[in-house]
Amino acid sequence: MNSNSKADGNGISDHQHGVKPRPYVCTVCDKRFITKTHMIAHMKRHTGEKYSCTQCEKCFSSQDTLSRHKNIHTGKYKCTECDRCCQSSKDLARHRRSHSGQKPFECSVCSKRFTTAGNLVKHSRIHSGEKPYKCHVCDKAFSRPDDLNTHMRVHTGDKPYKCSLCNRSFSQSSSLQLHKRHVHSKRRSYHCPYCGKLFKTGDELKRHVHIHSGAKPYSCKHCSERFTWHQQLKSHLLKSHCEGNWHTCNICDKKFVTLRCLQMHSLRHVGVKPYVCSDCPKCFYTAGELNKHQPVHSVVKLYCCSLCDKSFRRAQTVKKHFERCHDANL
């Protein structure tokens, strides 16, 4: 084992970004940087200056970043195993470890191994509790720079990830992907083995299967009550143990467990239906209502009975069929 691959206490702290001097300061937001180049690249985010790729129209804040990105299109650093194209030889070397299974970097505390030194450094903060990346607005600290960058959008209101289908914007790329999957995608590839209902995500299927299995994985820390869904537990804590605050509608005084639920409810008072069917002009208050409506337009029968393979357009029809035809035989 290479001595550089072992995470002794001194080695990690010497390479952590949080302890290096940061003499270069952004004049707009006071964020500090190790090099002048990094500071200049950062300041272009404030000026809005962008360098655009002519092949995929992606934009970048520096010419160097654009040049590295272009290597993906040229195939300069291409994996011979899966044909994936990387931006640099360093990225390619890291990627190849996903095929070889090589993890040369080992944590000296718990012996967990990692493919890159950067991942080892991030992991070591679990043991040290160090959070070197601090928000200059509210002093909240983070263990990873990506977490800090995401947090900063709370203060700036920046939502750089825009849905190409409905122009709704999001502060995180993961939120955009979930939005596309839940609102716009008609693909349901996760199949319930009990009733044949299809779901867009594995998490949705797991939550649904609890209905059939009777599992109640969420337990109250104050009493012996257990619940099928996390939302039920949250509601129980509010009602029975006074944790948190109710969110009250200022029009009808109806109370909600979460602010999100209140916001969705408020749309009904103003008549706003943000979820529009792509096949007809009909609009809906929630994504769930839209999903229930969409099979009306489909000739494809997405929902299959797991016992007789009979197909249906609606999940509710599958459920009724299952109860009517198969419950008596179980």
The per-residue pLDDT for 4 is 46
In tens, the pLDDT along 257-294 reads 667 778 888 888 888 787 777 777 888 887 778 777 77
Identify the CA nearest to 17 among candidates 153, 131, 94, 172: 131
Q: What is the mean pLDDT of residues 176-191?
A: 69
The per-residue pLDDT for 15 is 41
Percent of the chain with pLDDT over 90: 2
List of residues 6+ apart from 327 with CB closer than 8 A: none
CATH number, domain with residue 220:
3.30.160.60
Residues 120, 210, single domain; the answer is no
Residues 12, 150, single domain; the answer is yes
Q: Under the phi-then-psi rule, with left for phi > 0, alpha for psi from -120 to 50, and beta for the rest, what region is 82? A: alpha
Residue that is written with structure tokens 């969705």 in the block = 264
Report yes or no: 79 and 95 within 8 Å, Cβ to Cβ. yes
Domains held by the chain: number: 4
184, 266, 292 from 286: Cα distances, Å: 12, 12, 10
84, 96, 279 from 102: Cα distances, Å: 18, 9, 49
Band the pLDDT of 150: cuts 50, 70, 90.
Answer: confident
Q: What is the mean pLDDT of residues 214-229?
A: 83
Identify the CA nearest to 68 among candidates 82, 80, 58: 58
Give the CA angle between residues 210, 214, 216 to the nearest 5°. Answer: 75
Domain that holds residue 126: 3-158
| Gyration radius of the chain over CA positions | 26
- Per the domain annotation, does 181 fall within a domain? no
The model carries a pTM of 0.35
Residues 225, 253, single domain; the answer is no
Residues 138, 44, single domain; the answer is yes
- Per the domain annotation, does 175 fall within a domain? no
In tens, the pLDDT along 127-142 reads 887 888 888 777 778 8
Residues 153, 7, single domain; the answer is yes
